Amino acid sequence: MKKLGMDLNSFILDQERRYPNATGSLSRALVAIESAVKVIASHVRMAGLVDILGKAGKTNIQGEEVQKLDELANNLMIEYLSSSGEFFALASEELDEPIFPEEGKDAKYVIAFDPLDGSSNIDVNVSIGTIFSIHKRVNSDSSDFLQEGYKQVAAGYVVYGSSTMFVISTGNGVNGFTLDPSVGMFLLSHQDIKLPEKGKIYSFNESNIKKWEPQSLVSYVETLKEEGYTSRYIGSMVADVHRTLIKGGVFAYPADTKNKNGKLRLLYEASPMAFLITQAGGMATTGKEDILNIKPTDIHQRVPVFLGSKKEIQQLLSFINNG
């Protein structure tokens, strides 16, 4: 039985026990992610210091090379996930091609991740995150990454915010764990998260308004304003989606005249977030189709993203469909 304060490891084992045929492989995979993000979190917490102490000569006080935080996060994810032996293949937003780790030859899963989301916010001490999406290995090649989002076995993100939080779904609701830095454990703080049916916030980068496609989005946002909505836009998808998950409302990154498919990446950003939002009772669409139904054609493909509470997304779809 899960209860508030339970640690993430016990939660993972508890979930596993519900499936008599489970081999423990997914549990070990999730624990590997947990270890990687704890190390990333500790580096994020030191980001300002490393910057000041490390910039000259690019070495820190221990004489080690200082890596940019997004490179470091990428390397840590690759290292921990590969050595766990639980992943047949890894695809990262930061890498052109997937990696097939030697240790994962017999593994059952493939994982796609955005090691550090919101990297433009690092320098200014604003929330950033890590996002991941796990599918079953089926064909044993790169095409395993081209499975629809609804086939995800697990998806989640970590937000390095005023506290560090790990939010995860294995297709059985969404739970959030907050890192207690004094013991180094993620403790269940947000049990069975559900989006409100309707929120009060819209989250778009409104500077692109003239370029948005379709332009009916402009009247949609105008209507939200008239209905009393307020605006919040952090510019880290993890943080904007996290707020949307807790408070409801709508987060969007539409297509525009410059970015015909929007900016956000299907595998590393849109699909895992759509899985979580849907599991929490919300909706996630490109404006044309449910994000979870898209069959990817390329690992780095981008898609327009609209996600959030049911009321806002249904209203959005009626604006798009009625021009």
Contact residues for Mn ion (CB under 5 A)? Answer: 93, 114, 116-117
Residue 114 binds ligand AHG (CB under 6 A): yes
Phi, psi for residue 245 in degrees, rounded to 5? -60, -40
Residue 127 binds ligand AHG (CB under 6 A): no
Please state the closest distance from residue 241 (CB atom) to Mn ion, in A. Answer: 11
Q: Given the complex with Mn ion, which of 107 and 255 has the nearer CB atom?
A: 255
Q: Given the complex with ligand AHG, which of 18 and 258 has the nearer CB atom?
A: 258
> Binding to ligand AHG (CB under 6 A): which residues in 259-288?
263
Cβ contact 36:81 at 8 Å: yes
Distance CA 248, CA 259 (A): 26
First to last CA, the chain: 48
Q: What is the identity of the amino acid at 213?
A: E
User: What is the 8-class DSSP label of residue 20?
Assistant: T
3-state secondary structure of 273: helix
Distance CA 271, CA 150 (A): 8
Please state the closest distance from residue 119 (CB atom) to Mn ion, in A. Answer: 6
- Considering CB distances under 5 to 8 angstroms, the limit depending on partner class, which of ligand AHG, Mn ion, none binds residue 263? ligand AHG
3 state SS for 52-97: HHHCHHHECCCCCECCCHHHHHHHHHHHHHHHHCCEEEEEECCCCC
Residue 305 binds ligand AHG (CB under 6 A): no
Residue 94 binds ligand AHG (CB under 6 A): no
Residue 133 binds ligand AHG (CB under 6 A): no
Q: Given the complex with Mn ion, which of 85 and 115 has the nearer CB atom?
A: 115
Please state the closest distance from residue 222 (CB atom) to ligand AHG, in A. Answer: 20
Using CB under 6 A, list all residues that contact ligand AHG.
Answer: 93, 114, 117-119, 205, 235-237, 240, 253, 263
